[in-house]
Amino acid sequence: MTLGGYLQKHGREAVIWYGGLGLLSAQVARNLVLPRSYLYIVAREIDTIGIRSVAVALTAALFTGMVLALQSAVNMARFGAENYVGPVVALSILRELGPVLTAILVGGKVASGITAELGSMQVTEQIDALRAIGVNYIKRLVVPRLMAAVLVFPLVTI
């Protein structure tokens, strides 16, 4: 395959993918207002996304803090500043590393779970069944998960 053919093929695939992402974003924006009956779904997703992800965030923060404390203590001992290891580690975990690690780990865990769940529903034709009975599948499946993630991710990083 020539360079031009390669670029054309992959460029077309990228445009199609980003176009689909834009269309999905537009559909989500149109369906952001949920009826009261869907608030239970949002609450269930908050539990799934948030409460069940706290252990991952705490484990990452704990082990990162231990390594950071060990490394900082060794280097600060040279200057006689061992008393400042705790505050330095606490501030660096809370301000800098905690949110980044939480975003990467929890985001990966949550995104893979949502993708697997929706992919399984697509394969078993549950999404087609929702369409057939007249349910807006974007409002029922995508928007509650997005709302829960937007509400929970900042809270998990704290």
Q: What is the mean pLDDT of residues 2-23?
A: 90
Higher pLDDT, 94 or 17: 17
Higher pLDDT, 73 or 1: 73
- CA diameter of the chain: 71
pLDDT of residue 133: 93
Q: Integer distance in angstroms from the first to the last C-alpha of the chain?
A: 50
Most confident of 11-25, 42-56, 88-102, 141-155: 11-25
pLDDT value at 155 more than 90: no
pLDDT of residue 51: 85
Q: What is the mean pLDDT of residues 121-126?
A: 92
Nearest Cα neighbor of 41 from 117, 109, 104, 102 is: 117
Q: Which amino acid makes up residue 71?
A: Q
For all residues of the chain together, what is the average pLDDT?
88
The per-type count for the chain, helices as H runs and strands as E runs, is: 8, 0
pLDDT, one tens digit per residue, over 57-106 is 888 888 888 888 888 888 888 888 888 888 888 888 888 888 888 888 88
Angle between helices 98-123 and 54-77 (to 10 degrees): 150
pLDDT value at 157 more than 80: no
- pTM of the model as a whole: 0.76
What's the pLDDT band for 107 if we cut at 50, 70, 90?
A: confident
* Cα dist from 121 to 45, 116, 148, whole Å: 16, 9, 19
- Residue corresponding to tokens 């869907």: 38
Question: SS3 of 59, please?
Answer: helix
Q: Which amino acid makes up residue 151?
A: L
pLDDT value at 156 more than 90: no
